[in-house]
């Protein structure tokens, strides 16, 4: 919520609609990259703490290695996703209450928003669905990057690695996508801000769901296998 608030400087104005304030704050101030960092804070370092204190072994005696590792994946994903999405929801509620209008003027929608992501919803006057669509993508992004931090911590059980590595890797992934001109569904950083032009809302949502869930499942499987290997080797 704080990241959104400080990123919205200049957009909280009587001359700006709630949709425009949110859209410009989220897309053009690079605050989505800070969400990657904040998504890891709730639970991504939990395995590191368990491993360093040897608490993981006592838990696994009661629950089993697979159940322990899987529960870490689920809890990390949900906690990271909600931590960011709830803050975004609070900011959306704030701008909807404080701004004089929620939707931009019809001419502004036609000229500036109709071709952008979820612009087809604004053309229909569906501001609620516009905000919910972005909240969904924000949640999926945080789920993936928090799970990525957890997965990396299985190889290097250090809480600072768990916190920082997804933030650092996001830049690398984005640079690779730019250099090789990869499609947006192979660039999770760009996809997280829905920088897609001329595409329907349903297509963007399906693309985001398939991309982020596939990456999250891959990281979870790798984490579970690595943790089981670590425990087996003591």
What's the pLDDT tens digit per position in 18-58? 999 998 888 877 788 889 999 999 999 999 999 988 888 88
Q: Can you give the residue range of the structural domain that contains 122?
A: 2-232
- State the pTM of this model: 0.93
What's the pLDDT tens digit per position in 206-220? 999 999 999 999 999
* Nearest of 72, 92, 222 to residue 152 by alpha carbon: 222
Distance CA 177, CA 148 (A): 18
Q: How large is the angle between the packed helices 55-63 and 65-98, nearest 10 degrees? A: 110
What's the pLDDT tens digit per position in 168-209? 999 898 889 889 888 888 888 888 888 888 899 999 999 999
Residue 234: the pLDDT is: 64
- Total structural domains in the chain? 1
């Amino acid at each position: 919520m704080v990241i959104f608030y400080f990123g919205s400087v200049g957009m909280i104005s009587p001359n700006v609609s709630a949709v425009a304030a949110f859209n410009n704050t989220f897309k053009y101030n690079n605050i989505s990259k800070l969400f990657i960092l904040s998504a890891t804070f709730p639970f991504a370092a939990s395995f590191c703490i368990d491993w360093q204190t040897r608490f993981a072994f006592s838990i696994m005696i009661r629950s089993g290695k697979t159940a322990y590792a899987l529960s870490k994946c689920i809890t990390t994903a949900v906690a990271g996703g909600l931590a960011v999405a709830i803050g975004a929801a609070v900011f959306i509620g704030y701008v909807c209450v404080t701004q004089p209008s929620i939707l931009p003027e019809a001419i502004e929608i036609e000229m500036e928003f109709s071709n952008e992501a979820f612009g087809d919803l604004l053309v229909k006057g569906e501001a609620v669905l516009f905000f919910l669509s972005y909240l969904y993508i924000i949640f999926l992004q945080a789920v993936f990057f928090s799970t990525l931090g957890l997965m990396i911590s299985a190889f290097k059980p250090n809480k600072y690695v768990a916190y920082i590595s997804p933030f650092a890797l996001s830049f690398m992934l984005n640079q690779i996508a730019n250099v090789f001109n990869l499609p947006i569904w192979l660039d999770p950083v760009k996809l997280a801000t829905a920088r897609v032009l001329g595409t329907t809302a349903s297509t963007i949502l399906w693309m985001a769901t398939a991309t982020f869930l596939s990456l999250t499942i891959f990281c979870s499987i790798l984490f579970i296998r690595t943790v089981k290997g670590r425990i087996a080797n003591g």
